[in-house]
Structures are given as C-alpha cells and as structure tokens.
Amino acid sequence: MTSLIAWVAVDSVGPSALYFASDSRITWGDGRRWDFCKKVFSSNTEPEILGFCGDVLFPVQALGQVISLIDSGYLYKKSDSTREKFIKIAEVIEQIYSTYPEPHSSPFTIIHGVRLGEGNLARFEVSILTWSKFDGFKIEFIPTLEKFEQSDPKLIVALGSGTGVIKNIESWWEQSDVGGTSRAVFSSFCEAITSGTDACTGGAPQLSTLQRKGVGKALGYVSFENTYLSGIIVNQNCNLNNIKFYNSSFEICDPVTRTRKEGAQRQPKPKM
C-alpha cells in the first residue's frame, strides 16, 4: 500500500495550482520494505500529472507507459475534453491489465490531474480509476471548486493505507493559524509519513504539480540529511537548477545546502 494525496492551492484570484504527493515505500508480506519507488508522474508535454496507491508492480509499469503515450502526442485529439482524456487513459490501462497474471493481482487506485485553461482562468480537475478483484475497474470524477473560500477544504483526495493518520494530522493543522494553506496540507502529510503510524508508508515524500501555466512538473524534497527527487536521493553534481525543492514546512530550499533558499518565504511553526 501507500499514502497518496491531492490538493488545490489557492490565492486571492482563485485556484493557482494542483499538487499530488505520495510516500516512496513498497512493502512485502514478509515484512521487507524498500523506500525508493516512484509513485507520482508528470507529463513533459501536457498539463497533466498522475499518481497511484495500492498494488505497486502493475501501476508503476502502466503509468510509465501512459506518460510515454501522452508525451508522444499519440493518445489525445486536440478536441478531447478532460473526461475524454481520462477515459482514454483508463482504456489503455484496462487493455494492458487484460493480460496481467491473475495470481499477482492486488487492488490499486490511479489518480489523474489536469488543468483547463491558463493564467487566472485556469481550473483543475481530478479523476480516479480503481481496480479490485470484486468490482473490476471503476471511474470516478472528483468535483473541484472554481472559487475557493478560506474555509473550504483544500485536500481533495487522501488514499491508501495511511489515509486515517493523514486525515487525523491534517485536521489538527487545519485548526491552526496556517489552516487552509498548501503548507498545512503538505506539512501534515510529511508528519503522517514520519510518524511511522502506518507501517506501509515511508521514505521521502514525492511531489508533482500543475501551475496556472506550463506542463506538469516534478518537485524535489529536502530533509536534514538528503536531497530527493521522485523518491530517490539525488547526486548534487547533477543539474538541479531547473527543479524547485521544498522541505516539510513547504519552504523553497537550496538542494545543496538543504536550507531555505535566499529570498524564499519563511514558514514559521503553526499556532493553535
């Protein structure tokens, strides 16, 4: 299993960004675990992001293939609506799954985020595809508001084995003086991971985003000890200049020093 969330960031104009975040852990029935699995994906050519929870082996392969089809320009027509796009994604996944060995089949959920329009007129939509042995494939379209008030919940989706602890901790953050912010959602998610309450959730947080303009983007994460991208520790000799890195307080950080970047907004500890 895993922990997976989606939320909308809001400013004075309206919805400004969509974020997907997950943990990085895979667990096996004998108690073994591995904390470096990629679980959120972003298109390099379209304003789309994807993520998954539940079974790992099939979704991680399928989403890699889906992203390749999207980026090649093969999958969509220009006239396709967001629902038509997701239905095409679902059809590809169902086709791939039709030959998957049954003994290895475990339930999984895939989420898809897309932006409509650009700039101040941009809005975001989220869709969900689930599979289980008893129900087969099911599609759900998640409504998102075009105009958020401060009191409106920004957390759209919380999924996976860590859902309970995520919602409990997020509820506490929402009651603080930073409630209703992206910082509250992401910081509570990081706290849920590091709490160790859910044994199937762990490793570094992973982030992908859609902003008001541009295509999907992967975001990095820094802890006190390491710098991560897509769940893995990155080599600081590589080019990190084109990627934004965040800490658990949702401060923009320098990927080398792992401290708040010069000029970046400080995020003080919340007050109840």
Q: Give 224-256 pLDDT, tens digit per residue.
A: 999 999 999 998 888 998 999 999 999 999 999
Range of weakest confidence among 161-165, 202-206, 265-269:
265-269
Span 54-110, pLDDT tens digits: 999 999 999 999 999 999 999 999 899 999 999 999 999 999 999 999 777 799 999
| Calpha distance 254→263 (Å, rounded) | 11
Q: What is the pLDDT of residue 113?
A: 98
Q: What is the pLDDT of residue 267?
A: 86
Spans of all domains in the chain = 3-219
Q: What is the pLDDT of residue 146?
A: 63
| Calpha distance 223→93 (Å, rounded) | 34
More confident residue, 267 or 114: 114
Span 98-149, pLDDT tens digits: 999 977 779 999 999 999 999 999 999 999 999 999 999 999 999 776 656 6
Report, as an integer, the average pLDDT of 160-183.
91
Beta-carbon contacts of 85 under 8 Å, excluding residues fewer than 6 positions away, are 48, 75, 76, 112, 114
Q: What is the pLDDT of residue 39?
A: 98
Q: How confident is the model at residue 165 (pLDDT cuts 50, 70, 90)?
A: very high
More confident residue, 244 or 30: 244
- Topology of 3-219 in CATH? Glutamine Phosphoribosylpyrophosphate, subunit 1, domain 1 (3.60.20)
User: What is the H or E stretch that residue 188 is in?
Assistant: helix 182-195
Report, as an integer, the average pLDDT of 28-38.
93
Question: Which ranges of 43-136 would DSSP assign to H, the alpha helix?
Answer: 57-72, 82-97
Residue 31 near residue 16, CB atoms below 8 Å: no
Q: What is the pLDDT of residue 258?
A: 96
Asked whether residue 179 carries a pLDDT value surpassing 90, the answer given is no
pTM: 0.95
Q: What is the pLDDT of residue 22?
A: 98
